[in-house]
Structure 1
């Protein structure tokens, strides 16, 4: 039984045996090609991994793909020219020019000069009290003055324009104040209505060397103290007592 089975198996194997479809060389070539494809795939996979790592590093260092661009250079800002003044005061000629008109003025004396430069209208009062220091009296005499325009400079200093009530002859001729600018009553009222808070006034000292010295006007003694004949806009004499200065008395 054993011999017969062995013989049958051999016959069956011989019948089922088929010659190989590929030669040995073709089989080896196919194996080589398969190895090359595997290497290529591995190389591609490695490149992909390297690229992914590089991207991760770039993101971590750069803070993201949307990197902030440097700010654009600011355009060069050209300083705007100073505003044209609404009025100009020429201390040398003793003239205030505004809206095509020239108004005669009197200003500060040599001892109490009027500050120059650009000033701005801060406020206005129909009537205010000028102290002895403002007026230029050596004693404590106050004077009521109508149509007062308060001025302020960029450094914080202040001055004012008002009606000259105690020496109208000084207007356009000589200087008679403690540093403020005096006008005729009609001119002061017109200017008061012409200028509003925020208006710009340039005060210049051109020709100041040729200014006429301030004489001692009638009604003021040798010390510069108002006498009984010195009158104010209310028709009375200069009022005695310590004043509070411009801006302290309502109009």
Structure 2
């Protein structure tokens, strides 16, 4: 508030008090004019008081409003007890459909994916364990012309699936063209094989059905 505003208010109040104390010794017209003058001063007093009140309110209220606007701009805290609307993908055991020759895998937190396999019709149903993984290894292949002599071919992203009867299957990247792999080798495109290799863990159970 300005230092002159209290003086103006006090002066107006003193003028009104002085007017009230003067005895009515004037004529009727003079009294009427005096009353009109008092009315104008009274209105000026009210206006002055309003200015003082508004000035005081602005000095106090505006920072409060500004602080309130700052408060509204603060980031809203995330309540961990409120569930997210995003879907949650729960882990599902991998399985191989030996009839359609499709591997399906759904890791925790990811969507399920299915991969077409190049595999022998002689693979039987059962449950296999992931025994080990190797980014590079040699596996048996067969010559396409008799006699079917076995030899080894280097493959990538190999996942060993151990069967209860002691036999093993291998999930590998199919990047060798024109070669007949051993029936124990299940092949898929290299990008798919890498994805499966990264997500299958030693000890996982893969169901063949």
* TM-score of Structure 1 vs Structure 2, range by shorter chain: 0.3 to 0.5
The TM-score, its normalising length taken from structure 2, stands at 0.47
TM superposition score normalised by structure 1: 0.40
- More strand, by proportion: 2
- Higher percent of residues as helix: 2
